[in-house]
């Protein structure tokens, strides 16, 4: 396995990175902070259906690519790790998209489905 593992986040809200807006807290609360802090991972792309939100998130976390479509992110970047941080009713959809590109791992916020 080559390191760093390339990570991507679909959904750019609070659990994705918003809860860590204050780095002075000293705690890692979000996917973005975990990926950018750990030496074995590199956050390479983010997506949100709100393109402006995805762009702001990418700038905040110094991510090189942002997308308004999770499917396009997956097809173009082929990440090793994917965090699904979208609303619950979209989890299964994004999980199916992830399985089509076969990342090493997918982390999906709970619940998986309703």
Q: In what order do the strands lie in the sheet with 5-10?
A: 65-67, 41-47, 5-10, 81-84, 105-108
Do the Cβ atoms of 85 and 15 come closer than 8 Å? Answer: yes
* Residue 42 or residue 3, greater confidence: 42
Q: How do residues 24-49 score in pLDDT, each as one tens digit?
A: 677 899 999 999 999 999 999 999 99
Kindly compute the dihedral angle of the four CA atoms of residues 109, 15, 11, 9, in this order, to the nearest 10 degrees. -80
* Residue 114 or residue 94, greater confidence: 94
C-alpha–C-alpha distance, residues 91 and 47, integer Å: 14
- When mean pLDDT is compared across 76-80, 81-85, 109-113, the lowest value belongs to 109-113
The whole-number average pLDDT for the span 67-90 is 97
What is the number of other CB atoms lying within 10 angstroms of the CB of residue 109?
A: 17
């Amino acid at each position: 396995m080559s390191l760093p593992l390339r990570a991507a986040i679909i959904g750019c809200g609070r659990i994705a990175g918003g809860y860590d807006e204050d780095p002075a807290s000293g705690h890692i609360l979000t996917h973005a902070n975990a990926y950018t802090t750990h030496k074995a991972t590199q956050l390479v792309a983010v997506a949100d259906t709100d393109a402006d939100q995805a762009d702001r998130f990418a700038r905040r976390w110094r991510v090189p690519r942002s997308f308004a479509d999770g499917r396009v992110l997956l097809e173009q970047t082929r990440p090793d790790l994917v965090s699904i941080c979208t609303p619950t009713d979209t989890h299964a959809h994004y999980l199916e998209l992830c399985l089509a590109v076969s990342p090493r791992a997918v982390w999906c916020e709970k619940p998986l489905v309703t």
